[in-house]
Structure 1
Amino acid sequence: MKRDAGIIPQELLDKAVAAQQQLGQLPSDQRAEFIKKNSKIWRDFKNCLSEMSYGKCWYSESPEPQSHLDVDHFRPKLEARRSEKVYDKPGYEWLAFSWDNFRLSAQLSNRPVRNEETDETEGKGSWFPLADGSPSACWENRCVDDEQPMLLDPINAADVRLIEVHADGRMGPSKYCHGLNKLRVRESVVRLGLDLPRLKEARLRVMRDVKMLSDMLGRMLDTSSNDESYANKAEIEAAIAAIQVRTHPREPYAAAARSQLRMMGLGDLCVMPEEA
């Protein structure tokens, strides 16, 4: 996920900075109420965040027309739930109006919901566990760069490389994922609702579509190699373009399309960053 501050109007950025400065001058017992009363500030960022991701959830790649989107605070603003029994209150109040902490999220990733297949409660909410032994930032010691979050961050390229779509449409560890990171992937899949049944099926539809197009391209190439009279380059190029477009960042579930191509040994057909 590539963030672009240039998309955000300066007036909106200034308003967020002013709110944060005002928050910093309040006594601790008044901060939470101030944050709640000024929620419109981060909600106003929604359209800009949506433009950065082509209208898709930053966690699940679900398109906005199919999913109401929230502006999620990656580090929860009012309380941080570390485990089933441990809560840090307050949470990351100093990041309440920081757009660096905003992630555009489908409501099923951001709000608690029951997975009908596993009966687990999924959805991020205020959940933000840290690895054992990790420092924990607070108002007096804002050491967020030293923390080791268990949730993967969609704006962190190193985190994105740890997770991929598997053949059954579920999200799981990639070949680059080892050790503690496998637990982080598991935690993220559950807490962000990345394997909810309808989401999994949406990925599988994209993967079936890509496989069908790839098989069609293969038949064209076989015909071309076995029959010198077959030279319809335009059809072959059109088939390649139809496959590639599904891997473009603007497409819903593009990660599923890219995974399907890699599984078929056709990863070179994925749109490259410079092409996107």
Structure 2
Amino acid sequence: MIYIDNTKLDKPNQKWLDKAAILLQKLEEAVSIEERNQIIDKNHRIWKLLKDSLKKLSHGKCWYSETKNVYSHPHIDHFRPKKRSEDIFDKKNPLKDGYWWLTFDITNYRLCGSVGNVKKGDHFAVKYNRVLQPGPISDEVYYFLDPTVKEDVKLLNFDNNGTIKPSAPEALEKWDYERAKYTIEYLDLNYPDLQEARRLKWQETTIIIKEVNRLNSIFNNEPTNQNKNKKESEKNKLRAMLSPKQELTSTVRSCLRASGEDWAYKLLEE
């Protein structure tokens, strides 16, 4: 998962905004859930018009998997489900009305590969202050990690097998751990092809780290400009892998941190 500053999303043109306002009014005036859902279904192309703008924010990568193709072609995910919402932790009433008033709200859009979007479906568990009707949503305490929240992105980590897991230990940070576990499960973030892609990226990164360490040792014994340039050349490969345009940079970062090398931490701070 990568942090996305969605305040930088290109503003839709006035025609789109006017259409969204008209449709929101129709949703508000609908006399039944069925009528609302029909309006949503008939106008599903509206949010798809913004896909290119969402892709621009992430250089074409899915915001959750940080890949372009492994997790399949991107959908626009309504972070808060539009027609109905399923809360697995509410045993008495797991199915609830959706956040229909956010259907045409661009702040509710996330770019998600089809694998994750299909798995996510209507799932949206809320621990406290669930909003059941149009109104402020800022007080909701929800389970899904959100790529538009910088601190949420930090709650996931990776290992050398390409497995994604909570970065927080369950015993010390139970709520963060639970949110990470929920997100991994209901976005299928350990989807086999995706996990394999991360494993290969970790392997590629490890090979370069070992080469940098080898060249560091040579440079320390013989500090020539030639040896220094060889070492920097390998580091530059890692810098390139950390570029926002590249896939799976979070995996590269995790691998560098796991190396325990001081130079790797400094490279991450650049």
Alpha-carbon spacing, 1:14–1:212, altered in 2? closer, same or farther (3 Å): farther
Q: Name the SS for the 1:241 alignment partner.
A: helix
1:198 to 182, 190, 193: 193
Are the equivalent residues in 2 in contact too, given 1:130–1:150 (CA < 8 A)?
A: yes
1:73 Cα offset (Å): 0.4
Q: CA deviation at 1:166?
A: 2.6
Q: Report matched runs for 1:30-179 at 5 Å.
A: 30-64=35-69, 67-83=72-88, 86-111=93-118, 123-131=119-127, 134-140=128-134, 142-175=135-168, 178-179=173-174
CA pair 4-234 structure 1, distance change in 2 beyond 3 A: farther
User: What do residues 200-257 of structure 1 show as CA deviations (whole Å, max 9, x unaligned)?
Assistant: 1111111111111111112112111112456344332221111111122221111000
The question of 1:23 aligning with 2:30 is answered: no
Deviation at 1:18, TM superposition (A): 3.7
Are 1:223 and 1:230, in contact at CA under 8 Å, matched by a contact in 2? no
The answer to whether the 8 Å contact 2:162/2:199 transfers is yes
AA paired with 1:261?
Answer: L
Q: In structure 2, do the counterparts of structure 1 residues 79 and 210 end up closer, same or farther at CA, with 3 Å as the change threshold?
A: same
Tell me: CA distance 1:234–1:162, structure 2 relative to 1, closer, same or farther (3 Å).
same
Shift of 1:5: 4.0
Gaps of 5+ in 2: none
SS at match of 1:127: coil
Matching residue within 254, 261, 270 for 2:249: 254
Aligned to 1:10: 13
Which amino acid counterpart does residue 241 of structure 2 have in structure 1?
R
CA 1:153 to 1:176, structure 2 compared with 1: closer, same or farther past 3 Å? farther
Report the 3-state secondary structure (helix = DSSP H, G, I; strand = E; otherwise coil) of the residue aligned with 1:23: helix
Contact 2:71 2:194 in 1 (8 A): no
Distance 1:64 1:270 in 2: 26
Distance 1:219 1:229 in 2: 15
Seq. identity, %: 30
User: Is contact 2:9-2:57 (8 Å) kept?
Assistant: no
Q: Which residue of 1 aligns with 2:226?
A: 231
Letter of the structure 2 residue corresponding to residue 240 of structure 1: K
Letter in 2 for 1:198: D
Deviations 1:63-83 (CA, angstroms, capped at 9, x unpaired): 148621110101000000111
Q: Is the 8 A contact 1:55 1:64 kept in 2?
A: no
Aligned length: 258
Distance in 2, matches of 1:229 and 1:237, equals 12
Structure 1 position 139, deviation (Å)? 2.0
The 3-state SS of whatever aligns with 1:172 is: strand
Distance 1:247 1:40, change over 3 A: same
The worse-fitting range, judged by mean Cα deviation, of 101-110 and 244-253 is 244-253
- Kept in 2: contact 1:161–1:176 (CA 8 A): no
Equivalent residue for 2:266? 268
CA displacement at 1:4 relative to structure 2: 4.1
Aligned counterpart, 1:118:
none
Shift of 1:87: 3.8
Amino acid at match of 1:206: K
SS in 1 for 2:126: coil
Instruction: Go from structure 1 to structure 2 and tell me whether the alpha carbon gap of 1:160 and 1:58 turns closer, same or farther (over 3 Å shift).
Output: same
